[in-house]
Amino acid sequence: EVQLLESGGGLVQPGGSLRLSCATSGFTFRSYAMSWVRQAPGKGLEWVSGMSSGGGSTYYADSVKGRFTISRDNSKNMLYLQMDSLRAEDTAVYYCAKRAVTEYYFDSWGQGTLVTVSS
């Protein structure tokens, strides 16, 4: 059974930093591209960032480009999101999502971790 477990969320002041982690199991992590998707309170889904299976390619939404960095450790089956220069509008539940085999739809999601940016 595929399992994705996010951690690292919390309350941070504007301008601060946070690092999210996603621990995975139940599938061959190194073979799959992964993404982060967020959902602001009471709002819809917003794709944030994606990374190829080997880590050689990364993709970002314009809203986070230059502030967020996605990375992965295939030896530990872990996905990360380093978030810097955080803004109030980054407040959201952040989901780790596993891409399907060949295309960028998401067949498994974690439960999410809440990031609150507030003074």
- Token duo for residue 5: 């477990």
Nearer to another protein, 12 or 51 (CB): 51
Sites of contact with another protein (CB under 8 A):
35, 44-47, 50, 59, 61-62, 95, 100, 103-112
| Helix, coil or strand: residue 109 | strand
Query: Closest Cα partner for 95 from 4, 3, 1?
Result: 4
CA distance 72 to 10: 21
* Shortest Å distance, C-beta 20 to another protein: 15
* Shortest Å distance, C-beta 28 to another protein: 18
Nearer to another protein, 42 or 119 (CB): 42
Nearer to another protein, 9 or 50 (CB): 50
CA distance 39 to 93: 5
* Shortest Å distance, C-beta 78 to another protein: 19
CA distance 19 to 28: 23
* Shortest Å distance, C-beta 95 to another protein: 6
